Structure formats: structure tokens, C-alpha cells
Amino acid sequence: MLLETRGLTAHYGQFRALFGVDIAVAAGECVAIIGANGAGKSTLMRSITGVIRNEPAMVLHWGEPIGARSSAEIMKRGIAMVPEGRRLFPSLSVEENLLIGGQARKADGPWSLDAVYDLFPILRERRKNAGTALSGGQQQMVAIGRALMSNPELLLCDEISLGLAPVVIRDIYAALPRVRAGGTAIVVVEQDIGKALAVADRVYCMMEGRVTLVARPADVTRQDIHAAYFGEAA
């Protein structure tokens, strides 16, 4: 399995945010993780990417324990992150923001500066601008492009639609099939259930730090999702 978490727990001081979360992502797969605010989705992403350190065996990459590794080590193994809130570097131009994504990991693959500009043509026009001078949607494109520059095996997208207009969200989601076509597996963390179900092969629903549902989108009903999402029957 490309990525697994086994009994993953996480704490913020006294507050326990995750209670034994098990998820798995196969190579080339697209997995959605849905849940309300505070369900633990972003904590899960931060734990996988080493921002929060864990017990080594709680996170496995091709079966190898990586739970205690640093963010940089995990990224170099091919797990790239589009962080919540985009987190572009204000001192860097658009192009420099993209270049820094591919600086530490040299891997063969379809993604290069030109390929990212082909995926999001507006960024080519804005390449000299400061990353933070762009609109929210364009910043999200830079954040996705930046993560792709390392030609990752797995792309983790944390709340990429948050705060964006529907038409912009549509453009950004339209790029994901091309990312998959390049062989990259994707995890999308979403509050927008419709968007998540439309792109995912499998969906995990989280509530209060636990996984409450694992299913294929075609196999679940609205009632199942509602119960897993809010903890009550529809």
C-alpha cells in the first residue's frame, strides 16, 4: 500500500484530536476525506506529513514506518502537500514558489515548470508577480503546482476549495484528473461532499477524530453520509 495510517492518534497538548484513525491509499488512487469542521481531517494531514510527529508505525509508506520522520524527509519520499490556506511564500514570486516545490526532490515524472503552466495557463502570465498578490483561486493553483513540481507519488490536498467561488473551484477540480493521469495518487480533504464524491474512488468520513464511514461513492446513500458526517440519522 502506498500510504497507510494504523491506529493513528494525535494530541494538541491535553486535547486529543485523533482516536486511532486507519486509512489506506493505493498507488494511483483518489481518496476523499470528508467531515465537518473540527472532525480531525487537517490534523490527519499534518500527522501524515510530519508537521505533527507520531509513533513511527502509525504512518506507513510502502510498509515502512515514517510516523516519526520530519516533514522534509516525508516530502522527499514523494508525499507532497497542498496545505490548508495555501501558505504561499510571500517573499517569492509565483515562479519561485513553483520552483521551490521541486528543489529538494529530483524525481522523473510529467511535472515541470512548463507542465504546470500548461495546466494553469494564467500562472504563466503572472509568473513574475509576488505569489500573495494573486487572487485566492490563482494562489490555490500555485499551491497545487508547487506540490506537483516534485513529481510526487501522492498529492495531499487540504481544503483546496475553501473560501473560493464555485466557478474557481470547478476550474481547480478540473485539473485533478490530469494529475491522476500522470500517475499521482490523490487525497482530497473536503467539507464539500458533492465535490469530494465526484472525484474519489473511495471516501472516508470523519467525525470527532474517528473514521465513521469508508465506502465507494457509488455504494453510499445520502442517509449514510449524513449519519457519518453529523452522527445522526437523516
> Binding residues for other proteins, per CB under 8 A?
49-51, 70-72, 75-76, 80-81, 83, 87, 89-92, 96, 99-101, 103-105, 146, 150
Instruction: Report in angstroms how near the CB of residue 104 gets to other proteins at its nearest.
Output: 3
Give dist(CA 217, CA 220) in Å, integer: 6
Least distance (Å) between residue 180 CB and other proteins: 21
| Closer of 55 and 73 to other proteins (Cβ) | 73
- CB-nearer residue toward other proteins: 19 or 89: 89
Minimal distance, residue 2 CB to other proteins, in Å: 18
Q: Which CB atom, from 27 or from 104, has the smaller least distance to other proteins?
A: 104
Closest CA to 140 of 155, 158, 152, 118: 158
Task: Identify whether the C-beta of residue 148 lies closer than 8 Å to the C-beta of residue 185.
Answer: no
Q: At closest approach, how far in Å is the CB of 129 from other proteins?
A: 14
Distance CA 114, CA 175 (A): 15
Closest approach of other proteins to the CB of residue 15, in Å: 19
To other proteins, the closest distance from the beta carbon of 232 in angstroms equals 36
**Which lies closer to other proteins via its Cβ, residue 52 or residue 228?**
52
3-state secondary structure the chain: CCEEEEEEEEEECCEEEEEEEEEEECCCCEEEEEECCCCCHHHHHHHHCCCCCCCHHHEEECCEECCCCCHHHHHHCCEEEECCCCCCCCCCEHHHHHHHHCCCCCCCCCCCHHHHHHHCHHHHHCCCCEHHHCCHHHHHHHHHHHHHCCCCCEEEEECCCCCCCHHHHHHHHHHHHHHHHCCCEEEEEECCHHHHHHHCCEEEEEECCEEEEEECHHHCCHHHHHHHHHCCCC
Nearer to other proteins, 92 or 227 (CB): 92
* Shortest separation between residue 43's beta carbon and other proteins, angstroms: 14
Nearer to other proteins, 54 or 150 (CB): 150
Between 35 and 131, whose beta carbon lies closer to other proteins?
131
